[in-house]
A and B are shown apart, each in its own frame.
Chain A
């Protein structure tokens, strides 16, 4: 009975909130408090669904692909005068389409390269990704699609390519030359992170085509 008395005015009429909707000591109406709480709950529930889904879709962008290291032949098979083509697996689990060609030679002292290192050049043209071929008579790489020409080291000497031919990391294990992940190079043959065909390298282009976390860092 005492509580009832608190909820009524002296004349017995029910107590009205003043200003309307606000009882004493409240900073927010009951209706608004419930509305905000419901929307916050809905937001949390929505994020719980959307965030994993987006994470699923975007994971490959930040996930570094595991490098494939594969032997391509004995150390003695390669000399510094000419390239030898080898077949390598670039993408696993997709059969023949995942295979590609690399041109391998020993480093040439005439070109300021150590004779102990091995140079492996990707045959993928830096213009549109067509397969280039090393032409022994001319001593350069020629692309059949749009006439891109690269010199003995893979530097562009003609046609539309935007950067030298990509290279593969190499090391020697048990007398075998082992090829690792592909990396791109600048026009001075400085290694940069792997690019797709058509992307320039060096200078401002390293900012226009920023490094991707999905490929291993260059040597």
Chain B
């Protein structure tokens, strides 16, 4: 597959070999234009092998009995994408400083065009994502889809759940109103009450012995840089294993038993 000749400037085109027709001969500009999209796809595919990968991923076989419960994982992924996109736009107006955070959130909510809507999507999307994760987890558990050879994917999934809960904890502080401030104080106190490592862990989380000026910046960095990066990486690993191992049939479908016919033959 060649790069569409019509898109290459004349001087750069390969001159036709002796006895060969010049490219595009016998076809009008319209015909060549119609071929252009297919040519572009082919050009990319020849250099990346993307079609082989995408067909393997998107057209993989699924077992009989696959139903709507199997969409909960995709729904969670979609919720995460919504959080990432709305989060990027919220970050354009948000100021992670103890003196300006609340005012920037108020400004974002009340003054910015559709700001309330985007913030609402982020706020309610967070709740929806947690609910979807637990439903997805329940589906995996009750369908026995965590068993061999998918144990590692269960472990990755639990890590993703914990990371999402960390997102919930760190994001809660960011509006910096009374509720979020004191919720964070309590969360840190609970962390600090853990034996031996608790006090140090709490100091690490709030950047010192009290929730203070740098706590909000620390939570912001964890919320929008550290944990999302980890989540994206782990979602990649999670999906790779799903594609590689395939999905399980629901438990109420029994495998068609071959031994029965064997017995009949023996009789």
Q: Which residues of A contact B (CB under 8 A)?
A: 57-58, 60-61, 63, 65, 90-95, 97-98, 128-129, 194-199, 208-210, 212, 214-215
Contacts and interface: CB of A to CB of B under 8 A. Distances in A.
Contacts of A194: 209
Q: 7 closest A-B pairs (Cβ-Cβ)?
A: A196-B192, A198-B193, A60-B207, A94-B98, A93-B213, A91-B212, A61-B203
Interface string B178-202: 1001000110111011011011101
B199 A195 contact: yes
| Most chain A beta-carbon contacts within 10 A, residue among B98, B178, B199 | B199
Contacts of B185: 129
B207 A94 contact: no
Contacts, number: 76
A212 B196 CA distance: 10
A39 B195 CA distance: 38
Give the dominant DSSP class at A's interface. Answer: loop
B45 interface: no
Contacts of B206: 60
B99 A199 contact: no
A181 to B, nearest CB: 9
17 contacts: A58-B204, A60-B206, A60-B214, A63-B208, A65-B209, A91-B212, A91-B213, A93-B212, A129-B185, A194-B209, A195-B199, A196-B188, A196-B189, A198-B193, A199-B199, A209-B195, A209-B196
B189 A128 contact: yes
Given A129-B185, A208-B195, A214 B213 contact: no
Interface of B: 98-99, 178, 181, 185-186, 188-190, 192-193, 195-196, 198-200, 202-204, 206-214
A128 B182 CA distance: 11
B98 A60 contact: no
Nearest to B206: A60
B195 to A, nearest CB: 5
Nearest to A127: B189
B199 A60 contact: no
Nearest to A60: B207
A186 to B, nearest CB: 16
Contact of B192 (A65, A93, A198): A198
Contacts of B209: 65, 194, 212, 214-215
B193 A196 contact: yes
Contact of A210 (B181, B186, B199, B213): B199
A196 B213 contact: no
A94 B208 contact: no
Contacts of B192: 195-196, 198-199
B82 to A, nearest CB: 29
| Most chain A beta-carbon contacts within 10 A, residue among B185, B203, B209, B212 | B209
A65 to B, nearest CB: 5
Nearest to B213: A93
Contacts of B186: 128-129
A210 B212 contact: no
